[in-house]
A = this chain, B = another copy of it.
Amino acid sequence: MTADFRSLLSQRTRNMRGNAIREIFKVVSQPGMISLAGGIPAPQSFPIEDLYHINEAVLDRYGAAALQYDYTEGFLPFRESLADYLTAKNIQASADEIIVFNGSQSALDLLGKILITPGDAVALESPSYLGAITAFNAYEPKYVSIETDDDGIVPDALAETLERQSVKFIYLVATFQNPTGRTLSVERREQVAEIVKRYDALVIEDDPYSDLRYRGEAVPPFYTFAPENTIYVSTVSKVFAPGLRLGFCVGPALIRQWLRIAKQAADLHSNTYAQAQATVYISGGYLDRQLPKIIDLYRPRQEAMLEALDRSFPDSYRWIKPEGGMFIWVEGPDGIDAEELYWRAVERKVAFVPGKYFFLDEDDGLATMRLNFTMSDEATIQRAIDILGDVLRGSSAD
């Protein structure tokens, strides 16, 4: 008889489970499905032709060093190029103050590892990025939801929470948030910074989307308003290639010191070759040429979605028009069940993500939907939104 190893699993595995969105995605891969469900870059955004040259430059310039074991904190030329990249975001950090991870997901995992003792409180925007929750879950925190509105997290709600209880950290996607596309306004950034300083609180700012700005002026990262209280986490996934799994962070020295130790134990270091590719991509001027192309690819897709929403969705539905990012967040009227809509939309070959998955409380966000606009062309997006509009009106008429 085969041994049953269930008894060998650790207590924390009770807290771990598959990403609920995965179930949604099983349906999405059906033939003919138009998916507004994903949250991934368009393959057309990848600099494939450039990579032939980038690879040669990596081997010519770094040779065996690109294939060898390397420092846990990251390949030095990559950290140097990231220091330059961050300067343009008003973040002053030397190469020594940057740590590279296997995607920002791994940074979030290791932050959870070094900060969360089971039962500790972690504050999240409501709704929040599901991948972060999945990462933190393994360390068995309790979550505190902080209210948000169209301008992002509500400062008074945060202050009330911090007055009432201590939290290990506040996880924030301040710019073009996933799932809502919302951006914390500059005024709010100042208020939230003042609050976290007052309470000696720690913020994890996750910033994967800020380079994907289609109009309006750049907002400095939340980090720049409270650098001593913030761990800034970002990635090259949206501006180069997610398959390379390269994220990075800057932040307080004590946190970086423990992140380095935790990372050494978890994976020794990140892929040297990929870091060398990203070094050439950033410092060789490829990023500066590619980013406008990526924006020119996504901007009309977002505009097509916004136009179609105006045209096709009932007046009782509302959404904001984010200046960038990858998502439009739609809120339906009370009583709407977006998951029920989802299954009817799927029958008509259109998929999205019911927004309830991004809330901690099962009763929240039932009428919300996350619509991605990066993965389909304009005509397809418009057709999908028109179909969704039909489905919603069918529902309103029920």
Residues of A within 8 A of B (CB): 2-6, 8-13, 16-19, 40-41, 43-44, 46, 48, 51-52, 55-56, 59, 63-70, 102-103, 105-106, 109, 113-117, 120, 131, 134-135, 137-139, 168-169, 197, 200, 202, 228-229, 241-245, 252, 254-255, 258, 261-262, 264-274, 277
Contacts and interface: CB of A to CB of B under 8 A. Distances in A.
A102 B271 CA distance: 8
Contacts of A114: 9-10, 12-13, 16
Given A66-B243, A243-B67, A243-B70, A135 B265 contact: yes
B271 A243 contact: yes
Contacts of A273: 241, 243-244, 274, 277
A68 B103 contact: no
A103 to B, nearest CB: 6
A117 B117 CA distance: 13
Contacts of A245: 102, 267-272
A241 B67 CA distance: 5
A15 to B, nearest CB: 10
A114 B270 CA distance: 22
Nearest to A49: B59
Contact of A258 (B9, B41, B103, B120): B9
B242 A68 contact: yes
Contacts of A63: 43, 48
A73 B41 CA distance: 20
12 contacts: A13-B258, A43-B63, A43-B64, A48-B63, A51-B55, A67-B243, A70-B243, A103-B268, A109-B266, A241-B273, A244-B273, A245-B270
Contacts of A106: 102, 266-267
Which of A17, A115, A245 has most B Cβ within 10 Å?
Answer: A245
A134 B264 CA distance: 8
B241 A68 contact: yes
A234 to B, nearest CB: 15
A131 to B, nearest CB: 7
Interface SS, A side: helix
Nearest to A64: B43
Contacts of A258: 9, 13, 16
5 A-B pairs with least C-beta separation: A243-B272, A43-B64, A67-B241, A3-B200, A55-B55
A375 to B, nearest CB: 11
Contacts of A113: 10, 12, 138
Contact of A274 (B41, B46, B271): B271
B67 A117 contact: no
Contact of A64 (B2, B5, B48, B261): B48
Given A242-B67, A267-B103, A267-B105, A8 B169 contact: yes
A103 B267 CA distance: 7
B52 A69 contact: no
B64 A229 contact: no
A242 B5 contact: no
A190 B272 CA distance: 39
A56 B271 CA distance: 19
Nearest to A265: B134
B64 A59 contact: no
A243 B68 contact: yes
A262 B68 contact: no
A12 B141 CA distance: 14
Given A5-B255, A10-B113, A43-B65, 12 more contacts: A2-B228, A2-B252, A3-B252, A10-B120, A16-B262, A16-B265, A41-B68, A48-B67, A55-B56, A69-B243, A138-B266, A243-B271
A117 B11 contact: yes
Given A48-B63, A229-B3, A139 B10 contact: yes
